Structure 1
Amino acid sequence: MIQFVLLISRQGKVRLTKWYSPYTQKERAKAIREISSSVLSRGAKLCNIVEWKDKRVVYKRYASLYFCMCIDPSDNELATLETIHHFVEILDRYFGNVCELDLIFNFHKAYFILDEVLMAGELQESSKKSVARVIAAQDQLVESAKEQQGSISNIIKQATQG
């Protein structure tokens, strides 16, 4: 089971966190600090698995972001690497070559996509097309809600002016 997911920039800034196990705020801050320092200081030629406490952190660097997932020692590290890659491919498909700025300005979309891929620390959806359909439907709902909001605002404006 995935304990938590971290997306960290090369400068050590946290861009996304999702916790699937109960950690206090203090424990979370300490975990982020320890993991980011150990992952960022590793050489590019070293393996993508780091021991942390009684867990393992599997990470992969894409452009300027490190995608990290903390797993139980009994879990398959290669399957976790595949899960990371699957998540990145879906982000790429949605944003068109995802970058750090996409995650900064559209963090709500990144969380939504992560929630479609993982549920309770387990892979929920392995089909990229299925996730893309759900995201497109969500985008349509948001757009129709914005249009409806605009028309209601116009009606209120006209009623109060007249």
Structure 2
Amino acid sequence: MINAVLVFNNSGQPRLTKFYTQLDTTTQQSLLSQIFTLVSARPASACNFLPLPPLLSQHSTPNPSSSSSSDYSDAPTQITYRHYATLYFILISTSTESPLALLDLVQVFVEALDRLFENVCELDLIFGFETLHAVLGEMVVGGVVVETGLERIVEGVRASEGGMKGKRRSVNEGGYGGPNGSGIGMGRSMGTGAGGAMRALGWAGGGGLGGWR
């Protein structure tokens, strides 16, 4: 089971927080801070998955009044992450999930965002949060991975959004976003530098999957 999906920028500002395990707001905020500190301190050469420290996992321990050892199967035990140029994509999960499969899940997640935003950057995740959540909703439901096919994910989001993309474009063309009238598209020059979506999130240059670490 996936207990949480988190996206942070390099400054620790959350761009997506989705919890599939019920936690109170105070505990969530504490976990966000601790998880980012833990992951951001790791060197580039470090492994992309690590055990969830006891201090963090104890927040999500199931109710001990339940009657069997399987009660603890939903307790989070591991962190899986990928660091792109300006963004950390982090999954908190149980030990029943394969870390390698979760790394691939993050890859598909970012590729789907790239398709939908046409060269995705950090600002797209801020202003296009509906699409961000829609993509995640196509892939994970109740902490269970239900879809990993890139084309089906993109088609599902486009079908559910309908005419929203055209409406967003008309707002941008009206000058929303500043004196340049560039709207959310200004992220192409402000966020992570020049280039397309893969380049914006740190993929380009290495070819294929070489941009992640």
TM-score, structure 1 normalization = 0.83
2:117 aligned with 1:117: no
Alpha carbons of structure 1 residues 143 and 67: separation in structure 2 relative to 1, 3 Å: closer
Give the 3-state SS of the residue equivalent to 2:162 in structure 1. helix
Higher strand share: 1
Measured after TM superposition, the shift of residue 73 of structure 1 is: 2.4
Moved >3 Å (runs of 4+)? 141-146
1:76, 1:96 → 2: CA distance? 30
Measured after TM superposition, the shift of residue 63 of structure 1 is: 2.1
2:123, 2:166 → 1: CA distance? 26
Measured after TM superposition, the shift of residue 77 of structure 1 is: 0.8
Check conservation: 1:3, 1:121, Cα contact below 8 A. Answer: yes
Q: Which residue of 2 aligns with 1:23?
A: 23
Measured after TM superposition, the shift of residue 142 of structure 1 is: 3.9
Higher helix share: 1
Moved more, 118-127 or 100-109: 118-127
Alpha carbons of structure 1 residues 143 and 57: separation in structure 2 relative to 1, 3 Å: closer
Give the 3-state SS of the residue equivalent to 2:109 in structure 1. helix
Measured after TM superposition, the shift of residue 141 of structure 1 is: 4.7
2:127, 2:165 → 1: CA distance? 18
Moved more, 33-42 or 70-79: 70-79
1:120, 1:4 → 2: CA distance? 10
2:148, 2:165 → 1: CA distance? 27
Check conservation: 1:118, 1:124, Cα contact below 8 A. Answer: yes
Q: Which residue of 1 aligns with 2:66?
A: none
Q: How does 1:9-158 map to 2 (within 5 A)?
A: 9-52=9-52, 53=54, 54=57, 55-142=77-164
Q: Extract unaligned runs of 5+ from structure 1.
A: 147-162
CA deviations 1:2-31 (Å, max 9, x no partner) are 000000000110000111111111111111
2:161, 2:146 → 1: CA distance? 20
Check conservation: 1:39, 1:50, Cα contact below 8 A. Answer: no
Counterpart code for 2:86: S
1:131, 1:117 → 2: CA distance? 7
- Higher alpha-carbon Rg: 1
TM-score, structure 2 normalization = 0.64
